[in-house]
Structures are given as C-alpha cells and as structure tokens.
Amino acid sequence: AQSVTQPDIHITVSEGASLELRCNYSYGATPYLFWYVQSPGQGLQLLLKYFSGDTLVQGIKGFEAEFKRSQSSFNLRKPSVHWSDAAEYFCAVGSLSGTYKYIFGTGTRLKVLA
Amino acid sequence: GAVVSQHPSWVICKSGTSVKIECRSLDFQATTMFWYRQFPKQSLMLMATSNEGSKATYEQGVEKDKFLINHASLTLSTLTVTSAHPEDSSFYICSATLDAHNEQFFGPGTRLTVL
C-alpha cells in the first residue's frame, strides 16, 4: 500500500541554523512528490515538487529537496532558517495516473528559536 | 495562475443544520476536485474525489449521505455537510487539478464549527 512517513512530529531549530525535514514513501513506482507548508489556520502552500529529471529540486523561500530512489526518501532542506519558517510541513505523494490522489504524511511542526 | 478559492472561510452553525462550502477554480477549468478534512494538529485526510458531471467517489469511512458533493461545472464544486454535529467541526480544504498534470492546487480552507 502507498504510504508517506514523516518521522519527526516536532523539530526545533535556532534561527540561522540549517534544517532537514525527513520524508519517506512507499510506492510501487517513481511517484510524484511534493512538500507543502501550512501556517496556523491557513491553507497549503506548495514549496516544491518532483516529477522527474534532476533529483535535487529547488523551491520557494530557499528550500530544496532531494529525491533518493534507493532510500525512498524526499527530504526537505534549508541552509539557514528564518523565524518566519515556523509552520507545519507536509510531504505528499501523488499518484502517477488515474485518480491523481495525494497521500499526505502526518506533518512536521517546525519551531524556530530566536 | 491556478488559483482556488473557498467560500466561506469560516462558518459557525447550530447542530442539526446543513452547511454548504464552495470551491472554485478561478483561472482554470478543473475536471477533478478533491475534498479533504483536517482535524487540529493532524494531517489532511481525503474525503472524496469529485469529477465534473459525475458522482463523487468517496473514501472508505466517509458517509456520502452526510457529506454531499456536487461538481456541476468545471470551476465549481460544493460540499454540503448535512445535519451537522459538533464532531463535524473541522477544517475543510478543497483542491483542484488540471488534467494530465497531476498537481493539485489547494484552496485556503474553510473552518467549520458546529455548536
């Protein structure tokens, strides 16, 4: 069965420190992969996506993610975190065909210390 | 481009009443729309997939008679929560997709509170 795992429920980093949020997926083939950010009471904002090609994907707000097929991972990174990055982050896997459904991970809540 | 709106952004209703939430794709035609619900501090759970002009496909465990979905046009899908109860209080988010792109564009969400 398809699944997405975000092992870290909460992460706290200091402002200016580097960040890595983990995402592992289970899927029968190469999936479409997404990272979204959600501020409290708000909808989802797409940070970046991977469909094919270069496995290192650049997104908005200085985020990047790397698709590693051998590890079934799509970890999100940022070299220097800003206080405004505090939010909930969701990894999602998209179906390659047919239903176009997404499966979301459980989310990682990021706290940034001043 | 690819903007999705939801209306209302929040609603409070009495137990037993019905509430309709609209999801619109503003600058594109969406043959497929999705409805999710999100409980506080939890992830998004897909409720149903809505295709224009046909019946919605509900996920396992979602009551189709309670959560009525209508996708009457390529830019509008509605979710009606019938006979709402406090346990239906949640954040409802819709998304829309362009055919063959497999990328969903999300609305800003609707906060439903049932008293």
Q: Is the pLDDT of residue B100 over 60?
A: no
Tell me the pLDDT tens digit for each residue of A42-89.
889 999 999 888 899 999 999 999 999 999 999 999 999 999 999 999
In three-state form (DSSP H/G/I as H, E/B as E, the rest C), the secondary structure along chain A is CCEEECCCCEEEEECCCCEEECCEEECCCCCEEEEEEECCCCCEEEEEEECCCCCEEECHHHCEEEEEHHHCEEEEEECCCCHHHCEEEEEEEECCCCCCCEEECCCEEEEEEC
> Mean pLDDT across chain A, nearest whole number?
92
Residue A94, both tokens: 């998209």
Calculate how close chain B gets to A111, using CA atoms only, in Å: 14
Give the list of residues 6+ apart from residue A78 with CB closer than 8 angstroms, or none: A18, A19, A61, A62, A63, A64, A85
Q: Which residue of A has its CA nearest to B91?
A: A41
Q: What pLDDT, on the 0 to 100 scale, is given for residue A97?
A: 63
A42 touches chain B (CB under 8 A): yes
Q: Is the pLDDT of residue B79 over 80?
A: yes
Calculate how close chain A gets to B64, using CA atoms only, in Å: 18
Give the list of residues 6+ apart from residue A109 with CB closer than 8 angstroms, or none: A9, A10, A11, A87, A88, A89, B41
Q: How far apart are CA A96 and CA B4, in angstroms?
A: 22
B109 touches chain A (CB under 8 A): yes
Identify which has the larger pLDDT, A26 or A108: A108
Q: Which residues of B touch A51 (CB under 8 A)?
A: 102
A32 touches chain B (CB under 8 A): yes
Cis peptide preceding B8, ω within 30 of 0:
yes
Q: What pLDDT, on the 0 to 100 scale, is given for residue A27?
A: 81
Q: Which residue of B has its CA nearest to A5?
A: B43
Q: What pLDDT, on the 0 to 100 scale, is given for residue A96?
A: 63
**Are A94 and B109 within 8 A, CB to CB?**
no
Q: Which residues of A touch B109 (CB under 8 A)?
A: 41-43
Identify which has the larger pLDDT, B21 or B28: B21
Q: Is the pLDDT of residue A90 over 90?
A: yes
Backbone angles phi, psi at B2, to 5 degrees: 60, 55
Q: What pLDDT, on the 0 to 100 scale, is given for residue A98?
A: 62
Q: Is the pLDDT of residue B91 over 60?
A: yes
Tell me the pLDDT tens digit for each residue of B30-52.
888 999 999 888 889 999 998 88
Q: What pLDDT, on the 0 to 100 scale, is given for residue A1?
A: 72
A54-63, B62-71, B99-108: least confidently modelled range: B99-108
Cα separation values, A65 from A9, A37, A73, Å: 18, 13, 10
Residue A60, both tokens: 């908005």
Of the partner residues B43, B49, B111, the one whose CB lies closest to the CB of residue A101: B49
Q: What pLDDT, on the 0 to 100 scale, is given for residue B31?
A: 81
Identify which has the larger pLDDT, B103 or B56: B56
Q: Which residues of A touch B111 (CB under 8 A)?
A: 41
Q: What pLDDT, on the 0 to 100 scale, is given for residue A101?
A: 84
B32 touches chain A (CB under 8 A): yes
What is the CA B16 to chain-centroid distance, rounded?
Answer: 19
